[in-house]
């Protein structure tokens, strides 16, 4: 009897917490593309860690993504957002951290034991790239999730001079950044060209809490 009571209360609380907050990004714009890498083994931990390919995000962040696409339509016609990762349950972050901890790659993965942790866990960050007017993924010089210096925004000019990145690859990255920061008002991080935060640090923590609800959660339309 008591067990049933607790289970029912838990389910109600989980749904009450999740449903009004999260939006399925596929519902925002029919043109959006998805390649949710953690729902496949094609990612840096080489393991499928999501039970399904789903891109969930906070309602306010969904509005920002819509503005980023509107900006592309106005200034870089033919380019469309292609999402690689969105909301990430916190237990997955711990798993990722275990893989990179005490390796040179650890600076590319947020430590879940720190005050803020990963903005993906708040459903307020996306990993995103572009498709061009032919529908193909554009060349950004590295794959999403390449955990190395070639992915770092701050070294782009250096890598261009050294012939490790081309003008076209950097131009593509700039189109993405232009849309996400000017159109969507997202913030970049220095280490990954594909990662964008809606908010960071104190402002993020003031607005939201980290989530660990499953990706299978029911979303109200
Ligand atoms: Zn990311």
Rounded to the nearest angstrom, the distance between the alpha carbon of 7 and the centre of ligand 1 is: 33
Record the pTM: 0.89
Q: How many domains does the chain have?
A: 1
What are the structure tokens assigned to 154, written together?
């701050």
Q: How far is the CA of 196 from the centre of ligand 1 (A)?
A: 7
DSSP-derived 3-state class of residue 15: helix
Range of the domain at 92: 22-207
- Identify whether 216 is part of a domain: no
Question: How far away, in angstroms, is 195 Cα from ligand 1 center?
Answer: 4
Dist. CA 218 → ligand 1 center (Å): 23
Asked, for residue 5, whether it belongs to a domain, the answer is no
Domain-located, residue 6: no
Residue 178 is assigned to a structural domain of this protein: yes
- pLDDT given at position 221: 66
Task: Tell me how far the alpha carbon of residue 81 lies from the centroid of ligand 1, in angstroms.
Answer: 15
User: Is there a domain that residue 16 lies in?
Assistant: no
pLDDT in tens, 4-37: 555 554 444 444 444 448 999 999 999 999 999 9
In a domain, 73, yes or no: yes
CATH of the domain at 65: 3.30.1380.10
Does residue 48 surpass a pLDDT of 60? yes
**Confidence band for 108, pLDDT divided at 50, 70 and 90:** confident
Q: How far is the CA of 8 from the centre of ligand 1 (A)?
A: 34
What is the rounded CA–CA span in Å between residue 7 and residue 71?
45
Q: Which residue has the higher pLDDT, 145 or 141?
A: 141
156-203, pLDDT tens digit by residue? Answer: 999 999 999 999 999 999 999 999 999 999 999 999 999 999 999 999
């Amino acid at each position: 009897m008591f067990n049933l009571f607790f289970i029912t209360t838990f389910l109600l609380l989980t749904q009450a917490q999740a449903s009004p907050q999260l939006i399925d990004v596929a519902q925002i714009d029919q043109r959006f593309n998805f390649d949710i890498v953690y729902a496949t083994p094609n990612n840096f931990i080489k393991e499928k860690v999501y039970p399904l390919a789903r891109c969930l995000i906070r309602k306010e962040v969904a509005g920002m993504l819509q503005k980023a696409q509107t900006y592309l339509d106005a200034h870089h016609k033919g380019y469309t957002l292609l999402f690689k990762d969105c909301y990430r349950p916190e237990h997955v972050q711990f798993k990722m951290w275990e893989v990179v901890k005490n390796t040179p790659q650890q600076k590319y993965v947020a430590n879940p034991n720190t005050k803020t942790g990963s903005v993906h866990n708040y459903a307020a960050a996306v990993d995103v790239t572009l498709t061009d007017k032919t529908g193909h993924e554009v060349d950004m010089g590295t794959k999403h999730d390449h955990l190395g210096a070639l992915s770092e925004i701050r070294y782009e000019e250096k890598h261009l001079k050294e012939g490790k990145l081309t003008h076209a690859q950097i131009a593509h990255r700039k189109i993405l950044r232009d849309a996400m920061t000017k159109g969507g008002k997202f913030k970049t991080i220095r280490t990954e060209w594909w990662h964008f935060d809606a908010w960071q640090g104190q402002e993020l923590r003031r607005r939201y809490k980290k989530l660990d609800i499953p990706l299978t959660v029911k979303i109200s339309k």
